[in-house]
A and B are shown apart, each in its own frame.
Chain A
Amino acid sequence: DTEVTQTPKHLVMGMTNKKSLKCEQHMGHRAMYWYKQKAKKPPELMFVYSYEKLSINESVPSRFSPECPNSSLLNLHLHALQPEDSALYLCASSQGGGDWSPLHFGNGTRLTVT
């Protein structure tokens, strides 16, 4: 069982829709991440929140908008996506504040943009 929970597990949306992905962790971790993974590729970093503040944005298009309401929650708001945005979106968390802190991933949301 994963300690990082993502909802929904699957999402199909049209290019004009607005939807949100949600992520929750109760491990007391202070760093939270969004990754995007396409088939047969490694996860690709999108955003990092550190102590609830956005610390890394890997030049992600503005149609992806992250939000960290509190230390346990991380959202990814989606608007006007393109079919090529279809992928597995992974949330992860880590303790933060140190080097020896592995990432713990959620189950992911499999997104299909039609």
Chain B
Amino acid sequence: RKEVEQDPGPFNVPEGATVAFNCTYSNSASQSFFWYRQDCRKEPKLLMSVYSSGNEDGRFTAQLNRASQYISLLIRDSKLSDSATYLCVVTSGGYQKVTFGIGTKLQVIP
């Protein structure tokens, strides 16, 4: 089993739709969780950290379920500019052991 698993997609959704991605992790000792966004041929950029209580930033909501070992990202009212690859990132053993998921590609269509 991979340490961090994501559905690579692509997810093709119409503008205005709500879309959700999940990411599962295998190490129960994992400590920190993040969602990154990566545009084609660009560097990954931090979208949001994921906290146990869940957190929201505008149209984006992230949730962590430690019991089932997954995190999720919900995007409401999708915009064309949301088209990108969304990388799930999990850390364990302190800040140095950082594991990336393969990324989920989102394409928002007009």
Contacts and interface: CB of A to CB of B under 8 A. Distances in A.
B43 A107 contact: yes
A103 B46 contact: yes
B28 interface: no
A103 B42 CA distance: 15
Interface range on chain B: under 10, 10 to 19, 20 to 34, or 35 or more? 20 to 34
A81 interface: no
A3 to B, nearest CB: 11
Contacts of B32: 99-102
A96 B98 contact: no
Interface in B79-95: 87, 89, 91, 94-95
B95 A94 contact: yes
A45 interface: yes
Interface residues of A, number: 29
Interface stretch (A12-20, A48-56, A62-70): A48-56
A28 interface: no
A2 interface: yes
Given A107-B43, A108-B43, A50 B100 contact: no
19 contacts: A31-B95, A33-B98, A42-B102, A45-B98, A48-B96, A50-B96, A56-B96, A90-B44, A95-B95, A97-B95, A99-B31, A99-B94, A102-B34, A102-B46, A102-B89, A105-B43, A105-B44, A106-B43, A108-B43
Interface of A: 2, 31, 33, 41-43, 45, 48, 50, 55-56, 88, 90, 94-108, 110
Interface of B: 31-32, 34, 41-46, 49, 87, 89, 91, 94-96, 98, 100-103
